[in-house]
Chain A
Amino acid sequence: MIRSDMGMARAVTALAAAALIGACADDPDIITSPTPTGGERFASYVALGNSITAGYQSGGINDSTQQQSYAKLFAAAAGAAYVYPSLAKPGCPAPIDNFQTQTRVGGAAAPPCALRTSGSGAVALNNVAVPGASAVDLLATTSASSNALTTFILGGRSQVERALMAGPTFVSVWMGNNDVLAAGVSGILVPLAGVSPGLTPPAAFTASYDAGIDSLVRGAPGLEGVLIGVVNVANAPVLFPVQALFNPAFKAGFDQFTGATTPAEATVIHPSCTPTTTALISFQIVSQIRQYRANPATGHPPVIACAPGAVPGTLVGDIFVLDAAEIATVSTTVAEYNTGIQAKAAALGFAYYDPNPTLLAARANPAQISTVPNLASPTEPFGTWISLDGVHPRLPAHRAVTNGIIAAVNATYGTTIPALQ
C-alpha cells in the first residue's frame, strides 16, 4: 500500500468505477486523479527540505510524525496528491516519548530503524526531504550530512533528482536550517573536526541553494513554488539563556538531568557567567556532562562557563555556548541566507515565506514555545509547539507555518487555498 492521503479519493473513484461496471456490464475506464481543489498548478506538488519538512520530531521519525509535516498539511489544503516515504513504526529512529527518561516509542526493544513501511515505495514522491540535509544536498547524492535516512528516503538520488521523478508542477523548498543548526547548537561557529561543521558561509549557501533551485526549474519547465526562509536557530528552545541557571529551581532540575546525585556533583557555574550575561547554553551539554561523569576522558566537565578559555586547554566556555557575538553572527548569517532566498523567489516569480516572525510571536507565549525548558514536564518541556528535542516543531507549529505558506502562495498566485482552522 502506498501511503497517500489520496487514498479516500481513490477509493471513491474505484467505487465509481465499480458502479460503471454494473451499469455498463463492461470494464471501467481509466481511473483519473481528481483535479486539485487549489487548481491545476498543484497537480504534482513536491516538498524539498530537511528534517522539519520530512516530519522529524523528538529526535526521531515515523509515519505518525511524518503525517504532521507542514508539507502534508499544505498538500491537503491545496487538494494535491501526497505520497510520502513512510517509515514504519516505531521509527527510524523512534522518537523520544518521555523527556525526563529519554525513552523512545517502542521501548528498549525497538530496533534502531524499522525500515520503510511495506509497500510505501512509489516512483513519484511528493515529499523528498531528508533529515540532516543542507543546501548542498539539493543536488548532491552524498555529502558530509548524508545519513541512513538519506538512503531510506532518496535511495541513491539527490533531492532534486527525486523531485523531478514526480514531474512537479509546484514545489516548496525549505532548506538551509542545517547550514546553521549544528554549528549553532554546538556553540562552535567555525569548522572544527569532530565537533562542528561550522556555519556555511552565506555566499557558499546561496551558490548551492541557487544551483539546486535552478536545476529544479530546468527539469520542470513552468514550475511554480514557494521558497521558505531559514529559521534563526539562535531562537531554538534547545538554546536557553544562561540566566536560567541562576534560578535555584531550574538549576536543581538541570543538575538532576546531568546525573548529579549529591550537591557536590552539581554543575559549577563559572564566574564568567553572571545573571546579566548574554549567552545561550545548548541543552545538548546535559548529555555531554552525563557522559563525562561516566568517563572523564570523554564528554564535557560539569562546568558551565560563558567565555572561551575559562578552563585552559579545553573548549569549556566555547562549546555549547553562544555568546552575544556568536548570537549576532548566527542571526546575521541567517538574515543573509534569507536575503538570497527571497531574491531567488522574486527572480523566479515564486512565493516567499519567512517563518521567523511566526515563531518569534509564539516565543512570546511560553506555553507555545518556552525559552527556558520546563524540566518538570515529561512531554512538553519546550512548549506545545516544539517537540522533545528542543528543535523540531510539533503539529501546532506545523499548522502555523502551513498557514503562513498558504498566505504567501495566495498572495503571489492569486489562489484561494483556505487557511487551516
Chain B
Amino acid sequence: MKQMRLVQQLVRRSMPLALGVAALAATPALARAQAFGLNEVGTCAIARGGATTGAPCLDPSVIYWNPGAATRLPGISIYAGVAAIGVNGSFTRDFSGIEDEGDAPFEFPPHLFVNWQYRPDLAFGLGVYVPYGLTSQWKSDFPGRFLAQKASLQTIYIQPNVAYSFAEGRVSIGGGPVIGYSTVELRQGIDFSQQELPAGSPVPPGTTFASFGIPPETEFAQAQLKGSTTAFGFNLGVHAQVTETVQLGARYLSEVRFEYDDADATFAPVNTGLILAANNPVFLQPDGTPVPGGTPLDAVLAGQFAAGGPLVPQGVNTKINHPAQLQVGVGYTGLRNTLLSLDYAWVDWSTFKELPVEFTGPAAGSNRTLIEDYGDSWAIRGSGEYTFPNAWRGRLGASYAKTPVPDVTVTPLLPDMNRYNFTAGVGIPLAGRYVLDLGYWRVETKGRRGRVVERETREQNASQLNGGWYALDANVFALSLKAQF
C-alpha cells in the first residue's frame, strides 16, 4: 500500500478546500422577479403586477418605475412601506422521492420615496428601494447544502431624481444616479469526500477522498462569507400622454457592477462522526505508519482550521453584476374610472455568465470560476385599476416571467423557473392627504428539474447533473402609506 499512502502533514498543509467556498459569493435565490431581481417596490405597483411604467401609480414610487413621470405628482409626496415575502420551496430527490423543504425566513424589503414638484414642469425626488436581493435557505441535512445552505443578498439603491416635462406637460423625462449598497452572506457545507488530495500525492491528479471510501455528503466544515460593497449606476425614464386616454412610458435601469473585495470568509468545523479504522491507507503518522485505529477523522482534520491551515479566516473577492433592465408600457383610461396597463420588461441577465471567486488567504490556490451561463429574461405584465365613487382604488394584475436560468443552472442558490404571478390590492384614502395601499402577490410555478451537485465544466449538461425537482411558490404581502402635501 505504500504507493498510495499520504503523509498526514501533506494533507494538513495543502489540502484544497475551495470547492464549497467557491460558491460563497454566488447569487441568492427564490426571488419573485426573474432570478434575484425584485419587483416589490411600492405596494400600488405590487398590486398592479409591476405593469406601472406606461401608466405609473400616482405615488413617488415612479422614481423607480418611471423616473420621467415624477412631474405628474403634485406638491410634496412621501411614500413609505414594506413588503413581506414568504417563499415555499422544496426539492424532491429522484429515485428516493425524499422531499427537502426549504427553510427560508420571511424577508421584508422596505421602500421610501419622496417627491417634490418644484414647478409644474420640474420635480425633484429621492428613492430608496431594493431592486435585487432575497434569501434562499435550506435545512442542515439538505443534500444541496454543499452548494448553498443559505444565501442572502440585500442590495439597496439610493436614487436622487430629477424630472422635467415639456410639450405642455404631455411628455416628461427624468432620471438620476443610482448609488447601490449591497451586502451578501452565504453559508454552505464543505464535503470532505470531494476534496482533492494534495498535489504531489502518489495518486492521479484530481483524486478525491471519495476514492478512498469517504462517503459523499461528509460535511466536515461550514463556510461563511460576509461582504458588502458600493457601486454606481443610473435610472432613466420617459413618459408621454399620447392622447387623452393613452399614455406610454419606458425606463432603463443600468447595470450596476458590485465588486465585493476582501469579503470575510470564515470556516467552522463540523463533526463528521467518522472514525478511522486500523490500517487505514490515507492518514499516516510522521513515521509513515497509519494513524491508530479509532482516531476520529475530525481530530486529524483539526489542523485545517488552525493557524497555518487553509481554513483560517481570510479574505475573498468576487463580483456580482446587477443587470440592466428595460421596461416599456402602455396605459389606457378610455373606460370609465378604469386604468388598464400592459408592460413588457427585459432584463440583461445574459451578462451573468461566470462568477469568479478569488481567495486572498491560504485557500488562494483554490480560486475558481463558477459557470452560470444565464440568458436574457423577459416578462409580460398586465393590470387594471378601478376607482370607486368613494375614491377607493381596486387593483388586479397578472404577469408571466420567463426565467433567465438555463436548465443546467437550477441550483439551491437559485432554483429559478418561469413564473406566473397574480396580484391584487386596494388603495384606501385616509383623512384627506393620506392613502393606505395594501397589496398581495401570489407567485405560482410549474416546478423545474435541477441539481444539487457542482457543475465543474461546460461539457456537463443538465441531464447529467440534474437529480431532482424543485418546486417553488411564494406569497408577498405589502403595505405602503402615501402622504401628500
Contacts and interface: CB of A to CB of B under 8 A. Distances in A.
B213 A147 contact: no
Interface in A1-43: 10, 14, 18, 26-33
B277 A27 contact: no
A143 interface: yes
Interface string A151-194: 11111110000100101000000000000000000000000000
- Of A27, A112, A141, A156, the most chain B CB neighbours within 10 A belong to A156
B293 A146 contact: yes
Interface string B135-146: 000000001000
Interface in B192-209: 193, 203, 207
Nearest to B449: A27
A347 B383 CA distance: 70
B374 interface: no
Interface stretch (B60-68, B279-287, B422-430): B279-287
A150 B290 CA distance: 13
Nearest to A10: B95
B277 A112 contact: no
A70 B33 CA distance: 54
B275 interface: yes
A151 B94 contact: no
B261 to A, nearest CB: 36
B210 A30 contact: no
Interface stretch (B214-222, B238-246, B327-335): B214-222
Contact of A141 (B193, B217, B281, B294): B294
Contact of A31 (B95, B212, B277): B95
What band does the interface of chain B fall in when counting residues whose beta carbon is under 8 Å from A? 35 or more
Interface stretch (B1-9, B158-166, B359-367): B1-9
A146 B279 contact: yes
A37 to B, nearest CB: 16
Contacts of B432: none
Contacts of B4: 111-113, 115
B140 to A, nearest CB: 15
A30 B274 contact: no
A115 B212 contact: yes
A374 to B, nearest CB: 33
B448 interface: yes
B278 interface: yes
Interface stretch (A118-126, A228-236, A409-417): A118-126
A32 B94 contact: yes
Contacts of A157: 215, 273-275
A144 B278 CA distance: 7
B306 to A, nearest CB: 21
B447 interface: yes
A151 B277 contact: yes
A148 B279 contact: yes
A152 B213 contact: yes
A111 B3 contact: yes
A88 B448 CA distance: 35
B179 interface: no
B157 interface: no
Contacts of A124: 96
A363 B121 CA distance: 106
A142 interface: yes
B213 A85 contact: yes
A27 B217 CA distance: 27
Contacts, number: 130
Contacts of A150: 277-280
A96 B275 CA distance: 32
B97 A26 contact: no
Given A122-B216, A148-B279, A115 B211 contact: yes
B394 interface: no
A133 to B, nearest CB: 10
B211 A118 contact: yes
Given A115-B207, A142-B278, A155 B215 contact: yes
B92 interface: yes
A116 interface: yes
A30 B272 contact: no
Interface in B444-485: 446-449, 463, 468-469
Nearest to B282: A151
A153 B280 CA distance: 11
A142 B277 contact: yes
Interface string B274-313: 1111111110000000000110010000000000000000
A393 B27 CA distance: 54
A151 B280 contact: yes
Contacts of A167: 96
A23 to B, nearest CB: 15
Contact of B212 (A10, A146, A147, A151): A151
A148 B293 CA distance: 11
Contacts of B278: 142-144, 146-147, 150
Contacts of B218: 155
A62 B218 CA distance: 25
Contact of A30 (B417, B463, B469): B469
Contacts of B463: 14, 18
Contacts of B417: 27
Nearest to B463: A14
Contacts of A113: 1, 4, 281
B203 A115 contact: yes
A11 to B, nearest CB: 11
A102 to B, nearest CB: 19
Contacts of B143: 123
Contact of B275 (A111, A141, A165): A141
Given A30-B469, A156-B274, A151 B294 contact: no
Interface of B: 1-4, 92-97, 143, 193, 203, 207, 210-218, 272-282, 293-294, 297, 407, 417, 446-449, 463, 468-469
* Minimum-distance CB pairs A-B, first 4: A156-B274, A142-B293, A155-B213, A121-B210
Given A85-B213, A115-B203, A157-B273, 15 more contacts: A27-B417, A27-B447, A27-B449, A30-B93, A115-B211, A116-B211, A121-B210, A124-B96, A141-B274, A142-B277, A144-B278, A151-B276, A151-B280, A156-B277, A167-B96
30 contacts: A10-B95, A14-B463, A27-B448, A28-B449, A30-B93, A32-B97, A33-B95, A33-B96, A111-B3, A111-B4, A112-B3, A116-B212, A123-B143, A141-B274, A142-B278, A143-B278, A146-B277, A147-B277, A147-B279, A150-B277, A150-B280, A151-B212, A152-B212, A152-B213, A154-B213, A155-B214, A156-B215, A156-B272, A156-B275, A167-B96
